[in-house]
Structure 1
Amino acid sequence: MLVPFLIMLREGIEAALIVGIVASYLKQTGRQKWMGAVWIGVITACVLCLLIGLLLDLGSAEFPQRQQEIFEAGVGLIAVCILTSMVFWMKKAARAIKAQLHDSIDAALKPGDRQGLALAGMAFFAVAREGLESVFFLLATFQQNVGTAAPIGAIIGLLAAIGLGFGIYYGGVRINLKRFFHWTGVFILFVAAGLLAGSVRSLHEAGLWNGLQSIAFDLSGVLPSDSVLGSVLGSILGYQDMPTMGEVLAYCLFLFPALALFLGGLHRHAVAKTSA
């Protein structure tokens, strides 16, 4: 439940920030009448992402076992790429996103017959990007976590993000967004590493990857995967009590360089700012 909750909270806050920046700028420039177009774009994006997620989930249920494993591996790999790009994109774009959105709004509202359509399209693509990221992550997570806990966590996270979004926009809520995105970014990299290891496991079960299948270590006697703590660690970090060498290598070869790039980039920025 925790992983879907935090991912949807982060994704929802990103989308809420974008919509909030757009709404604030329209209000500041006396163009509130265009908020209807913004909401059309937002709602259309949400409905489309929901339909895509449902279609992919329903379609995968009809696959034979081997194709199901291949589908799970593919979704997991896509989710890893999306989550990683999301973390690094937000780190890079956070400082300039407000100015970029203002420029996009001004461009969309240039005199012409399609001002509303252009603004709706801008809002649509901004929210659809966040929504599609969430769709692929949730698909990968739901396939690894059977039961209602994961969907409930995702719904609670989304509702919390909506509530925080309204709170931030109306000025009643203050959170340190820089710190929030920093720590959730670190957490997401661990989640992505677990999804990558799970994709390697699915590829093996599908018969497409048969190398490095010796057991790296056996913790089944100390911390079995089906124990309460093992299940929690499995849902959050992709823990397995008897992982193969391939799974461990995939996990480590992804996680350590990604963390070094993410945290190292932040350190360099802090040093440069201090020197200035």
Structure 2
Amino acid sequence: MLVPFLIMLREGIEAALIVGIIASYLRQTGRRAWLPLVWVGVGLAVALSLGVGIAFDLASGEFPQRIQEMFEAAVGLVAVIILTSMVFWVRKAARSIKAELHDSIDHALSTGDHQSMALLGMVFFAVAREGLESVFFLLATFQQGAEVGVGAPVGAVLGLAVAVIVGFLIYYGGVKLNLRVFFRWTGFFILFVAAGLLAGSLRALHEAGLWNGLQAAAFDLSSILPMDSALGSVLAGILGYQDQPTVGEVLVYLLYLVPALILFVPAPPAPVSSQPAPDASRRPGAI
């Protein structure tokens, strides 16, 4: 329940911020008449995301076992790529996204007869991206069994509901949220989740008969921390924990996670020397 909640909270807040920036700019520039079109774009994007999610879920249930394992692996790999790109994109674009959206709005509303379609398309694609990212993540999580029962969908709905409330509070109530800290910590969390999904995709490829290497057990913690225990279930849902992982799964997990964390954590600034700069006139050869 925790993983879908946090992911949907993050994705929902990203979408709410984008919509809030667009709506605020339209209000500030005296273009309130375009606001209904913004909500139409949001509604269409939500409908597309729900439709894609339902279609994929229904289709996967009809696949033979081997094809279903291959589909599970493919969805997991796509989810890892999307989640990773999302984390690093937000880290890079957080400072400039507002200005970029303002420029996009001005460009969309200066296209003559196609103003409405341009604005609708801009909102639709911005929100649909967040929605489709969520769909692939939730599909991968549900299929790999990291979240089972009704807790997973309930967590996802609660996360989205909280994100909507936060969005309204920011937009209408003037609530301040330290987004840099929020996206930084949730980014760390998502990288661990993505590593678990990647290891799960390798496991699915093995079950589909497409990967048979490095299948020796790396370690066995089933007697110390079994997956069906309370803590084991929580770690499995959050970090992709397995009590008897294979060597391949451990390698894939670490080969993804370690470089991702190194790249995600910014290098500390170079120390500033407290010593005064040397006098150029005292350097060898100075005139």
Interval containing the TM-score (normalised by the shorter chain): over 0.9
Give 1:101-140 correspondences, 5 Å limit: 101-110=101-110, 112-140=112-140
Q: Secondary structure at the match of 1:74?
A: helix
Change (3 A) 1:95 1:109: same
Q: Which amino acid aligns with 2:125?
A: F
Bigger helix fraction: 1
Question: Tell me, which stretches of 5 or more residues in structure 1 are unaligned?
Answer: none
How far does the alpha carbon of each residue in 1:66-86 deviate from its partner, in whole angstroms, 9 at most, with x for none? 111111111000000000000
TM-score normalised to the size of structure 1? 0.96
Which residue does the alignment assign to 2:89? 89
Q: Distance in 2 between matches of 1:129 and 1:121?
A: 12
Query: 1:242/1:34 Cα in 2 relative to 1: closer, same or farther (>3 Å)?
Result: same
Range with greater deviation from structure 2 (235-244 or 106-115): 106-115
Equivalence for 1:247: 249
1:1-276 → structure 2 map (5 Å cutoff): 1-110=1-110, 112-143=112-143, 144=145, 145-263=147-265, 266-268=266-268, 271=269
Distance 2:227 2:111 in 1: 61
Question: Is contact 1:142-1:151 (8 Å) kept?
Answer: no
Of residues 223-232 and 107-116 in structure 1, the stretch that sits farther from structure 2 once superposed is 107-116
* Alpha-carbon shift at residue 191 of structure 1 (Å): 0.2
Greater displacement, 209-218 / 33-42: 33-42
Please give the alpha-carbon distance, in whole angstroms, between the structure 1 residues aligned to 2:201 and 2:232.
19
Q: How far apart are residue 23 of structure 1 and its match?
A: 0.6
Q: Distance in 2 between matches of 1:165 and 1:81?
A: 26
Deviation at 1:92, TM superposition (A): 0.5
Q: Distance in 2 between matches of 1:97 and 1:223?
A: 44
* SS of the residue 1:114 aligns to: helix
Q: What count of residue pairs does the alignment treat as equivalent?
A: 271
Shift of 1:154: 0.3
- Report the residue type matching 1:55 in the other structure: A
- Contact 1:76–1:137 (8 Å) recurs in 2: yes
Between the aligned partners of 2:105 and 2:206, the Cα distance in structure 1 is: 48
2-side partners of 1:41 and 1:234: how far apart? 37
Partner secondary structure for residue 43 of structure 2: helix
1:147 shift after superposition: 1.0
Letter in 2 for 1:104: S
| TM-superposed deviation, 1:171 | 3.1
**Bigger Rg over Cα:** 2
Deviation of 1:117 after TM superposition, in Å, equals 1.1
Tell me the alpha carbon deviations over residues 157-215 of structure 1, each in whole angstroms, 9 at most, x when there is no partner. Answer: 00000000000011342221100000000000000000000001110011000000000
CA distance in 2, matches of 1:136, 1:180: 22
Per-residue CA distance 1:229-256 (angstroms, 9 max, x = gap): 1011001110000000000000000000
Which amino acid in the other structure matches residue 39 of structure 1?
A: W
Give, as a single letter, the amino acid of the residue that structure 1 aligns with 2:183: F
Contact 1:108 1:118 in 2 (8 A): yes
What do the CA deviations read for 1:82-141 (whole angstroms, capped 9, x no partner)?
A: 000000000011000000000000000005111111101000000011011000000011
